[in-house]
Structures are given as structure tokens and as C-alpha cells.
Amino acid sequence: MTPEVDLAAPLRIEDLRAARDPVTVVAGPAVRDRVSAGRIFLSKVLGDDRAVYGSTTGFGALVGYAGRADLRDQADNTLAHLGAGHGPDIDAGVVRATMLVRAWSLARGASGVSPHVIDALVAMLGTTFVPAMPRLGSVGASGDLIPLGAAAQALRGRGHAYVDGVRLPAAEALAAAGLRPLPLDGRDALALVNGTPLTTAALALALDSVRASHRAVRLLTCLLADLLGSDPQFLDARLLAAYGHPGAIDVAAAMRRTTAGLTPSGSRPLQEPYSIRCSPQLLGAAEDALRYVDGVVAADLGSVSDNPVFFPDDDVVVHGGNFFGQPAAFAADLLSTVVAQVGNLAERQLDLLVDPHRNGGLPPMLAAGPGRQHGLQGVQLASTALIAEIRRDTMPASMQSIPTNLHNQDVIPLGNQAALRALDQARLLRLLVGSLAVGLRQAAYVGARPPTASGCAAVLAALVAAVPPIDPDRPLEDDVRRAAGVVEALER
């Protein structure tokens, strides 16, 4: 059954996930009434000869000059100069989530947009049509201008787009999807580009992925402790209450539920390495940070990130900076830091697991026949490369402000770049999760003790059902991805 999203209801991350494929988007009477009211108000304002940015003026640093007299011609004036993007096309799922976020924002009725623009976005999301959006070119101020400009042009039948995964000239893609080119005037065009839906969508999807990986690492840490026979006192409720941090308290409580019944082997050191002993503190700090990002994403998903913003009931048009994606920029940079440290934890746990000096005497690299076979050796090498890639790219984007646009945009947030980078890193973190999961499954095969906690046994059983033992050696890329999906699905 095709998922349904109601533009009159709050927008959720689940809706963004669903929009990767064709989705039924509902714009009911309440939405149509307020969008129509906003459009009627725009006509009134223009009839009163009031100045409205983008309708009666040029754009950006050229706001002091008059725009084109014909409102339909003003759409070209808005969009043509934004055709300056570079780099690869953005992932189709992110683009479609972006268009859903923009549809929801425009459906608030505060953007002065024509109702037929909402209709076109609704129709597009019901097909496999995906505008081709360039990755590079946005600074996240005045909105995600260049990528959104490419999307608006694709909806008009200009530039390029995808249908069923095939890249085509946009006019051909529209015809193949059964869509018509979207007519725009200057206000419609500006409303499509002058916001932060790409930043919001990328951050929301990155958060969703990182949360799944965070839960998975928590479960895998419990399984690691049980297979090794660790003493679970590092999860003691009194210990974490004395620590006092809410995230750590909650993470440890979840880990105690998974490890309930864990019996120490008695052969491990009194104190485990930090990658086990300090895991509730590390994952707890990550949880606290993720809760902050949760709040930013929730606010962004409910935001009108436009300029100007129309308030028909008050008979005012307010010009300002709601398109300035600073909250998302800060949140995305924080999310990147979380990815780096949670990924580092998973990589260090895998390193411990393959080392016979620390893993309780299991074979080196967990090889079923060391020398004749190599077990996790390739997976560990790849994990080292993955964490290095993540850590190398964790420099905050939000501190890189560079004045541009004749100093009209004299400070910029670069939220778009931060959010897309966080999404890239989230995908790498998932591979680290899968690598650790494959290692734990193999440890059970080459001699680790059976889990003593029923929660840990359930995690291992799910992995055993999905991933065969490594005996003999084989390529493991698919196993890593499959194992990540198995563990992430356990507490969805």
C-alpha cells in the first residue's frame, strides 16, 4: 500500500523516509483555503503598490533595483542566474524528501504561493520523478538556492530529472512520469527556492540513520560484554545515578535490560578497557547530543523558512531571515561529532575482538584456521579506513562563514554543506556497525562462550540467522551491510 502524508498534519521523519518512493500526499480543504488566502493577499499587496521582495525587486544584493514588470517573466529572472551548481547529483531519496519538506512549508499559506504549485509537488511525489539537484553551490543562507533552483527548473521542464532511476532531460522526464511543466511567476519561483528544505531533509535523514546506528552499537556492546564474560557492574544503576547525566542513565538502563542475566566468566580483568567499561558514558553523551538534534529537526520540520513571510490576518508582509539555516548547521556539525565518536567506539571494539591478547584467547582475526584463513582481517582494514574517513571530515562547517553576494550575505551558516556531510558520515557509521556485528557473529563461531543473557542471545540469534560463519574466507561486503540492517531493525 502506498504511504500517505497529510500536509495538514505535522511532518515526521518517517514521512521523509517514505517519500523515497512514490507517496500519496494529501492537500485537503484546510490547506487549500489557507494557501488560496495567502495568494489573494499577495495580489492585494501588489495592488496597493507595496514593495515585496522578489515580486517587485531584484534579488539578493540587487534588491535595490526593480525586477521585471511581467510577473511570469520574473520567474526566469529568479531562476536563470541560479543555474550555477556543480558536482554530482544529490541522492534521489534526499531530493524527494526535500520536495516534501518544501510542499509542507508552502502549505502553511505564509509564502504567497499559487495553489497549483502545491498541486504540482503533490503530483510529483506520487510518481518516480526526481529533479536532478547538484550537490555543490549552496551556502545555506537565503535558503538552499542553487539546488532548489535546479529543482524548480526541472519542474518547469528545464534541466534534468530522473524517472524510474533514469536521468533524462527534464521535459522528457515530466512526460514519462505523466506530469505537466509547472508554470511559475516570480513569487512562486522565489517561494520554491528561498528556504532550507534540503538542509532540513538531509539533517533529518542523517539523524534517523545515526539514531539507528546508536541503538545498534548499544546492543552490540552488550553482546560483546556477554561473549567475553565481562562483569556488568559498569552498568550499575547506582554508578550511573552518581554520574548524573540523563543520557548515560537512560542508555545504561537500556543496556541493563539487554544484559539481564549476564553471568561474568571470572576470567576477565577487574576493569575492562574503556571501549566496554565507559560505553554507557560515551553512548549516553551521544544520546544527550542526539536529543538536541531531535529538537532542531522537529523545529525545522515545522518551520516556514521563507522570505518574505505573509500574514494576511494582520495585513502585513514581513521581510527577514527565516531562510538562515544556522540551527541546522550547528546541529549537523554536532551530529558529525557524534558519528565520529560512536564510530570510533565500534572500530575499537572490533579491534579488541580480533586481538587474541584481549579477546579471551579467540583466534587472531577470528579466523577459523589462522594462516590458511584470515577471518575479519579485510573487514578490520576497511573499518580503519572508514573511521579515518569520518574523522578527517568532521571539521565544523558552521564556522566557515565567508562573506559573499556583495556582502549582502556577509555571514552564512553553511547548513546545507553540514547536513549533507553528516548524512554521508551516517552511511559510513552504518558500515562500521555492520563490521562489528559480523565480528561478533564470527566470534561465536570460533569459540566464544554462548551468551548468558537472553537479550544478548536474541541479538546473536538474529545475526546467526542472517550471516553465515566465515569458513572458508569469502568477500564480506554484503554481509556487513546485511548485518547492519539486522541489528538496526531489532529496536526500530
Which helix (DSSP H) or strand (DSSP E) does residue 130 occupy?
Answer: strand 130-131
Q: Which three cell numbers stand for residue 17?
A: 523516509
In DSSP notation, 86-105 reads EEEEPPHHHHHHHHHHHHHH
Which residues neighbour 205 within 8 Å (Cβ) at sequence distance 6 or greater?
Answer: 13, 16, 17, 93, 94, 97, 423, 426
Is residue 53 flagged as an active site residue?
A: yes
* Single pTM value for the model: 0.96
User: Where does 157-245 have alpha helices with state H?
Assistant: 170-177, 186-193, 197-228, 237-243
Nearest-angstrom CA–CA distance, 40 and 38: 6
Write down the catalytic residue from 53, 65, 292, 445. 53
| Model pLDDT, residue 61 | 59
Range name among 219-233, 293-307, 405-419 with the lowest pLDDT average: 405-419
Domain borders along the chain are 4-195, 202-491
pLDDT over threshold 70, residue 380 = yes
Neighbours of 2 (CB within 10 A): 9
CATH H-level superfamily of 4-195? Fumarase/aspartase (N-terminal domain) (1.10.275.10)
The yes/no answer on whether domain 202-491 falls in CATH 3.20.20.70 is: no
Percent of the chain with pLDDT over 70: 97
| Model pLDDT, residue 60 | 66
In DSSP notation, 414-430 reads -HHHHHHHHHHHHHHHH
Using one digit for the tens of pLDDT, what is the confidence trace for 211-245? 999 999 999 999 999 999 999 999 999 999 999 99
Percent of the chain with pLDDT over 90: 84
pLDDT band, residue 85 (cuts 50/70/90): very high
